[in-house]
């Protein structure tokens, strides 16, 4: 057993973020809880979000980087985690609608939200949250895809996801009729990353792009760092292709 603070102990091997939250006064909340549940979130892991409920007591501790959430809820167990719908509502209030949308689509993809849970979330959120819920889908392949689709929404052009293209295969996005957008996760950053047959992921992507060009498609490929940290460049690249009508036949 690990001693955390007066009267609070934890089993050995418990998650470090869970331990920090318990030291501070409650369970994980917001983006910390979402990440712990296996949802895709944009935010870095430096902060620990803690659910204090409405009547908790904070306990600052060494190296404390805790963000407190004081929304009220059930009090049967002071260390019981918030429900997933409450976690999503916390993300909306704390990090905004974009982060909320990405985590929401991740939860839908994993079939973690029941109809009753979605109904509660709709009733307990604001207009921006309800708009994001209406726009969300359950087939987004990654948080990067959710993020890109959300950011392109305001332009109003046709964006289809997970489309089968003859001679190419399934692509992340088809804009209009000819512009393919591919978003690569962290694993694809490493040129030494291999597929099960021993060929590199990078080689596979190059072959796909060449086949797409042979079928008269234009491919734009972006990685995690570009989508998350250099969106201005990604946006300009896409809009330049649209302005030149390269998304049309």
DSSP string, 81-134: PPPHHHHHHHHHHHH-HHHHHHHHHHHHHTT---HHHHHHHHHTS-HHHHHHHH
pLDDT at residue number 189: 44
Contact between 220 and 241 (Cβ < 8 Å): yes
Strand pairing class (48-51; 66-69): parallel
Task: Supply 224's token pair.
Answer: 């995690």
Model-level pTM?
Answer: 0.85
- Domains of the chain by start residue, with CATH: 2-135 (no CATH), 143-243 (3.40.960.10)
Contacts of 220 (CB under 8 A, 6+ apart): 179, 180, 181, 182, 237, 238, 241
Residues 112-131: tens digit of each pLDDT: 999 999 999 999 999 999 99
Decide: helix, strand or coil at residue 46. coil
pLDDT at 235 over 90: yes
Contacts of 110 (CB under 8 A, 6+ apart): 38, 39
């Amino acid at each position: 057993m690990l001693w955390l603070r007066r009267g609070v102990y934890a089993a050995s091997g418990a998650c470090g973020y869970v331990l920090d939250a318990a030291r501070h006064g409650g369970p994980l909340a917001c983006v910390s809880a979402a990440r712990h549940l296996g949802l895709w979130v944009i935010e870095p892991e430096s902060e620990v979000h803690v659910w204090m409920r409405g009547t908790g007591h904070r306990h600052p501790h060494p190296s404390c980087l805790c963000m407190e959430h004081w929304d009220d809820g059930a009090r049967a167990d002071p260390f019981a985690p918030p429900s997933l719908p409450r976690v999503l509502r916390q993300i909306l209030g704390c990090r905004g609608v974009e982060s909320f949308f990405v985590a929401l689509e991740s939860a839908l993809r994993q079939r973690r939200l029941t109809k009753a849970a979605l109904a509660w979330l709709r009733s307990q959120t604001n207009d921006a949250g309800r708009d994001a819920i209406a726009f969300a889908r359950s087939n987004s392949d990654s948080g990067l895809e959710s993020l890109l689709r959300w950011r392109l929404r305001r332009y109003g052009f046709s964006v289809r996801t997970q489309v089968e293209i003859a001679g190419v295969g399934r692509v992340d996005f088809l804009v209009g009729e000819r512009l393919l957008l591919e978003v690569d996760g962290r694993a694809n950053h490493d040129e030494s990353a291999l597929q099960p047959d021993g060929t590199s992921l990078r080689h596979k992507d190059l072959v796909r792009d060449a086949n797409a060009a042979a079928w008269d498609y234009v491919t734009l490929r972006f990685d995690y760092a570009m989508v998350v940290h250099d969106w201005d460049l990604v946006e300009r690249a896409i809009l330049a292709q649209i302005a030149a009508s390269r998304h049309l036949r």
